Structure 1
Amino acid sequence: MEFVKDNFIYILFGLNYFLALLATITLLFQKINPTKTLTYIIVLLVFPFVGLLVYYFFGQDYRKTKIFNRKHVLNQSVIAKIQNELEIDTQAISEVDELLEEKSKLIRLLYNSQSSKLTLKNDVQVICNGDEKLRLLLEDLKTARNHIHLEYFIIKDDETGTEVLNLLSKKAEEGVEVKIIIDDVGSKISNGRLSSLRKSGVIIYKFMPVLFSRFTGRMNYRDHRKILIVDGKIGYVGGINISNNYINSRNQRFWKDTHLRIAGEAVHQLQILFFTTWDFVSQGELQIREAHFPRIDIESKIPLQIAASGPDTDWSNIMESIFVAINNAEDFIYITTPYFIPNDEIVTALQVASRSNIKVKIIIPKKSDSWIAEYATNSYIEKLLEASVEVYQYHKGFVHSKTMIVDDVFCTVGTANMDYRSFNINFEVNALIYNRLISSQIKAMFNEDLKNSKKVEPNEWERRSNKEKFLEGFARLMAPLL
C-alpha cells in the first residue's frame, strides 16, 4: 500500500496508457477510416484520461455490436404483410427506369441494402420554412382519429412546442393513440410538462437518456430524425424540429429550412421506421395493429423511397445513396447543407463530377451555429474550389436545409447533414424522390437561396488570415469527432 501511495500518479498514468493501448488495438481491428483512426489515436496519446472519455463516448461502433436490433419489428406479421403489399410490378419499375435511366441504380441500392421499397402512390408537398410546416402540422393533427406518432430530435416546451404538445394532450384525451419519442440530448421538455402529457394519455419515451443532457450536446448515437405520422396516411419528414428556433415569426435570426408533407404509401415506410425505434426505447412494448397501416387511396404517382441510416442499419444507406446519385449525374448537382464535413468518398465524387463538366453548386451557411463546425466546413472549401465546384455562403440567416437535386429527375430531402455524424453515427432519415415536378420545386428553392448567398471566389478565399487557416486545420482534425 505504501508503494501504491508513493507511486499513485505513475500507476494512474500507466493504467491510462494501458487502456489507451487496448483502445488503439480495438480501433485497428475495426478497420475504420484511417483519418478517423489516427484522430482517435492522437487524442488517446496526447490527452491522458480525457482521451479515454472521448473514445468511450464517441469511438465505439454500435453498428458492429448490433445493440440496436430491427429484426423484432421487421419480423412482425403485420409489417411483413405491408412490405409485400408495397411490391411494385414489373411495368411500374420499367416506367421509373425510363424516367431515371441509369439513376435507377439508386432504387436497387436501397432495396438490396435494407429492403426499402420503392413506393409509387404518393402525393408530396414541399415546405420551405418552419412557419408553413407548423400551420400544416397543426391542421393535420386536429384531423387525427386513430393515432399520432412523433419521433423528433428537438421538441422544446417553448411557445411552439407548447402549442403542439397541448394539442397532442387534447387528442390523447379524445382517445387518439399518441406516441412520442424525443432525443434526450436535443429535446428540452420540463418534468411538469412530461407529467401533464402522460396524465392525458400520451405515451412518451426518451431516446438513450443521459445523465446531464445540457452538457452532452454532441454525445454520440443520437436520434436526429424528425418523423410525424397521422393515422398512417400523412407523414412529415425533413429538417424542421419543433421549437421557436425554427419559426421565423418567433425567432430573431432568420431560419431557412426544408421539410416534406407526404400522403401515400411512403407513410407506411415511415411508420415501420418509427416502430423500429419505438421497439428499442420501450424495450419491447410493441403492439402493431392493422389500423397503423390503413388502405391508401392516392391517385398521384410520385416514386419515393425512405432511406434510413444509423447504428441499427448494416450499411450507411443515406451516404451511399448520395454517393451513387453524384456518380450518376450528367448535368448538375445542387446541394444545400448546414454542415459540410464529408468523408473522402463524397469529396472525391464531387471533385470528379465537377472536373467532368457537371455543374456542382453547394450552399452552406456564412455563419454557423457552431464555431468548430463552421471552421471544419470551411476547411473543405479550398479543395472544392480547386475542382471548380461553386461554393455559396448563405448570409440572410442560418440555412438548415438538407437537400440535393440531380439532373431535374432526382432529389432528396431529410434530416441527414453532409457530415460524418449523419453518415455514420446518428439515426437519420431521408426521402428519395424520383420525380421531375418535385425536383423542379426543390431546384427553384435552391435558386432562390442563391439570391441570398455570396459565391466564394478562389482569389478572395486564398487571402483569408493565417488564424482562420489554423482554426480550419484544427477543426478539420477534430472533424471525425464532431
Structure 2
Amino acid sequence: MQIIEVLVEWVYLHWVTIIVILHVSLSLTTSLHVLLFKENERTSLAWIGLVIFSPVIGSLFYWLFGINRIKRLAQKKHPQTPKRYCRHSKKINKFNHLPKHWNSAIIAGYHIHPVNYVADNRVEPLINGDVAYPAMIESIKSAKLHVVLSSYIFDYDSLGRQFVNALAEAHQRGVIVNVLLDGIGIGYSWHKSDRALKKLGVNTARFLPAISLTGIRFINLRNHRKILSIDGEVAYIGGLNVSKNNLVKSATHPIDDVHFKVTGPVIDQISQVFTEDWGFATGELIQFPHFNPNTLEQKNNHSVVARVIQDGPDEHHNRIRWTLINALVCAQTSVKIITPYFIPDQTLMTSLHAAALRGVSVEIIVPEHSNIPFVDWVMEANFSRIMEHGIQIYKNKRPFDHSKVVIIDDIWSFIGSTNWDARSLEFNFEINLECFDTGLNTQLTELFTLKKRNASLVIEDEMDKLPIYKKIRNNLFRLFSPYL
C-alpha cells in the first residue's frame, strides 16, 4: 500500500515530464514509421505534422487510420493455389481484331496485373436497380449449385428483403449460398439483413468487422466490391448496392447507377475474387463451380475481350490506378468518364491532361450534388485546375448519380466499383472489368450521351465568380482530399 502511495506521489510530482517523454517517444516512433512506409510526400508531411502538433491524439489517429497493415497480412491469408488458372502464362494472348496500338497496352496490362485477358464474353449494361435487381433476383432463383454475393451496403428494406428471401429459398433448395458483407457497410442497415440471413440458415461473413479484438485498426479499410456470381454461369458487378434507393422510379431519394450482367469465361475471375475475400474473412476455402464453355448461347453475342482488375490495400495495391494510366496513354480520340466523386491524384490528373494536350477529347460527368457535401466542395475547388488544356466537366442535374464508367475511343471500357478518389484508390477493396469491344462501347457511349443531355457544362468564369467564402471553404477541404 505504501509503495502505491509513493508511486502516486511521484507521478503527481513528475506528470509533466512523463507526458513530455511519452509524447516525444510516441511521436518519434510514429514519425519514423511514416518515413519508412509512406510513399506520398504530401501525405507523409501531413501525418508527421499531425503527430508532432497533436500530442498522443495525432499518433493514435495514425496507428488507427494511417497504416496499410493488410498489405502484409493478405499475402499470408489469401488462398493462392486456386487462382493459378486465372494467371497468364509467359505466352501472351494476342487478339488480332483489336487496334494495333492497343497491343502494347495489353502487354503492359499483363505486367500490371498478371491475369489473363479472355475472349468470348458478353457484358450487358443494366441501368438502375429497376432493371438490374429483377435480373439478379431471377438468377438467384434459378441457381442450381452455388451462389456468392458480396455487397458494401445491404439494406433491410423492401428491396433487401426480396434478396434475403431469394437467397434463403436457394439455400432451402440445397444450393450453397455464401454472403459477404463489409463490417462498416452492414451498419447502414443496423445489421438487420445479416441477422435475417443467418436466422434463415444462410452462411454469412463480415469483411473486417468494425468491432473486434483485432479489427479496430482496419476500420479505415473497407470492401467496396459488389459481386453476385451464380453456378459459374452468370455474374453481376458494378456500382449497385442492395437498396431500394436504386429503384429510381419509386424511391423517395433515388440514386442513378449502372450494373452489368456478365457471361463468359471471365466469370471465373470474378468468382475468384470473392473466393479470396471469403478466405480472408473466414479462413475457409470455398470451391466455386468453374465456367463451362458449353453453356455459351451464340458465340457472336459474346465478343467482349475482358479481364478482372482487383485492387485494394494489399498485394493488389495500385493496379487500378496503373490500368487507367496505361489506357489513357493509348487514347487517340476520346475519353469519357462518369463518376460520383472525381478527386484524382496528381498522377492521374497529369495523364488526363497529357491526353487532352494530344488533342484527345476528355469529358467528365459528375453529380451536381453528391451524397457527401464536403466532397462536392473539394471537386468544385479542383474544377479550374481540371479544365486546363480543354478538359470539359459536366454536372448531372439528376438525383445523385452513382455510376462508374470509363470509355476510351470506341474500343476500351472500364466498369465496376471504383470511384476516382483516394478512398477507392488507396483504402477500398475494389473490382473492375477491363473490356475491349466496340459494341459495348457503343452502348456505354449512348448512356454517356443520355446523361450529358441532363447535365450542365461547368464554365471557368462561373468558378472565378464564386463568393470568396465558398472559395476558402472549398480549398480548405481540398487540403484533406487524400483522406476523403
**TM-score normalised by structure 2 residue count:** 0.91
In structure 2, how many angstroms separate the alpha carbons of the residues matched to 1:470 and 1:10?
Answer: 40
Match runs of 1:91-240 below 5 Å? 93-95=94-96, 98-188=97-187, 189=189, 193-211=193-211, 219-240=219-240
Q: 1:72 to 1:370 in 2, by over 3 A?
A: closer
**Alignment partner of 2:59 out of 43, 52, 55:** 52
What amino acid maps onto 1:67 in structure 2?
A: L
Q: Which residue of 2 aligns with 1:454?
A: 456
Tell me the equivalent position of 2:28.
Answer: 21
Q: Distance in 2 between matches of 1:470 and 1:296?
A: 61
Matched, 1:83 2:82: no
Q: CA deviation at 1:233?
A: 1.0
* Aligned-partner Cα distance in 2 for 1:450–1:388: 17
1:69 is aligned to 2:75? yes
Q: Distance in 1 between matches of 2:179 and 2:422?
A: 27
Corresponding residue for 1:12? 19
Structure 2 CA distance for partners of 1:248 and 1:72, relative to 1, 3 Å: closer
- Following superposition, the deviation at residue 472 of structure 1 comes to 1.9
CA RMSD in angstroms comes to 2.3
Deviation (angstroms), 1:328: 1.4
CA contact (8 A) 2:105 2:330 kept: no
Q: Whose radius of gyration is greater, 1 or 2?
A: 2
Provide closer, same or farther for how the CA distance between residues 391 and 288 of structure 1 changes in structure 2, counting only shifts above 3 A: same
Contact 2:78 2:277 in 1 (8 A): no
Give me the whole-angstrom Cα distance separating, in 1, the residues matched to 2:193 and 2:340.
31
Cα pair 2:365 2:452 within 8 Å, conserved: yes
Q: One-letter code of the match for 1:128?
A: I
Structure 2 equivalent of residue 297 of structure 1? 295
Which amino acid counterpart does residue 297 of structure 1 have in structure 2? T
Pairwise CA distance, 1:89: 8.4
State the 1:296 CA deviation. 4.8
Following superposition, the deviation at residue 38 of structure 1 comes to: 1.9
CA distance in 2 between partners of 1:429 and 1:232 (Å): 17
Give the share of equivalent positions with the same residue, in percent. 26
Q: 1:35 to 1:89 in 2, by over 3 A?
A: closer
* Count of residue correspondences: 468
Most deviating of 32-41 and 12-21? 12-21
Please say which of residues 341-350 and 101-110 is displaced more in the overlay: 101-110
Output one character per residue of 1:415-452: Cα deviation in whole Å (capped at 9) or x when no partner.
Answer: 01001121122100111110011011111111111111
Assess if the C-alpha contact under 8 Å between 2:186 and 2:194 holds in 1.
Answer: no
State the alpha-carbon separation in 2 of the partners of residues 176 and 99 from structure 1.
40
The amino acid across from 2:458 in the alignment is V
- Contact 1:337 1:418 survives alignment (8 Å): yes
> 1:455 and 1:17, CA in 2 relative to 1: closer, same or farther beyond 3 A?
farther
Three-state SS of the structure 1 residue aligned to 2:94 is: helix
**Is residue 2:44 matched to residue 1:37?**
yes
Structure 2: distance between partners of 1:318 and 1:344: 15
- Pair 294,201 (structure 1): closer, same or farther in 2 beyond 3 Å: farther
Divergent runs of 4+, >4 A: 86-90, 189-193
Q: Displacement of 1:69 after TM fit? A: 2.7
Unaligned runs of 5+ in 1: none
Separation (CA, whole Å) in 2 of partners of 1:274 and 1:421: 20
CA displacement 1:332-365 (0-9 Å, x = unmatched): 1111111111111001111121122211111111
Q: Answer yes or no: is the 8 Å Cα contact 2:394–2:457 preserved in 1.
A: yes
- Gaps of at least 5 residues in structure 2 are 1-6
- Native 8 Å contact 2:303 2:437 kept in 1: no
Q: Which amino acid aligns with 1:371?
A: P
Q: CA deviation at 1:314?
A: 4.0
- 2:394 equivalent in structure 1: 392
Asked if the contact 2:147–2:175 (Cα under 8 Å) also holds between the matched residues in 1, the reply is yes
Amino acid at match of 2:56: F
Change (3 A) 1:46 1:71: closer
* More displaced stretch, 177-186 vs 385-394: 385-394
CA drift of 1:293 comes to 4.2
Task: Give the TM-score of the pair, scaled to structure 1.
Answer: 0.91
| AA of the residue aligned to 1:66 | R
- Cα distance 1:473–1:20, how it changes in 2: closer, same or farther (>3 A)? farther
**Partner-residue secondary structure (3-state), 1:262:** strand
Q: Secondary structure at the match of 1:144?
A: coil
Deviations 1:442-470 (A, max 9, x none): 11111111111111111111111222222
Structure 2 counterpart of 1:23, one-letter code: T
